Structure 1
Amino acid sequence: MAWIPAITTTSLFAAGLWLARNLISTRLTKRVEHEFNEKLEKTRADYRRGEDELRAVLQARAAEIEALRAGALATMSTRQAAIDKRRLEGVDQVWASVMALGQVRVLAASLSAIRVDVIGEMAGRDEKVLRFVEMLGFGFDPKKLDHASAAKARPFVSPMVWAVYSAMQAVASHAVIQWHALKNGVNPNGLLDEGKIKNLIKVALPHYGDYIDKHGAEAFYYTLDALEAQLLVEIQKMLNGAEDDKASMDRAADILRHSKELMRVAATATPAA
Structure 2
Amino acid sequence: MRRITFTSESAERCQLIFGKAFAGRLPESLKIVDSGFRKVFGERLEDEYLMPGGEHVKSVDRVFEIYQAIRASRRNAITAVGGGSLIDMVGYASSGHTDIEKLFLFPTTTVSQVMPALKGFRVNFEFVKDLLSFNCLPDKVFIDFEVSYREYACSSKSVLIFPLLVALSFDNRLFKYLFNVVVSGKDISAEQWEDIVFSSVKAYLKGIETGRFVVGTEIGRLIETASRLKAGYDSSLLFGAMMELRLAEKFGTGDSSVTEDFFRVVKLLWDSRWSSRIDMSSLVDLVEQKGGVR
TM-score, length-scaled by structure 1: 0.24
Between 1 and 2, higher relative CO (CA 8 Å, sep ≥ 6) is seen in 1
Question: Which structure has the larger Rg?
Answer: 1
Which structure has the highest helix share of the two? 1
TM-score, length-scaled by structure 2: 0.22
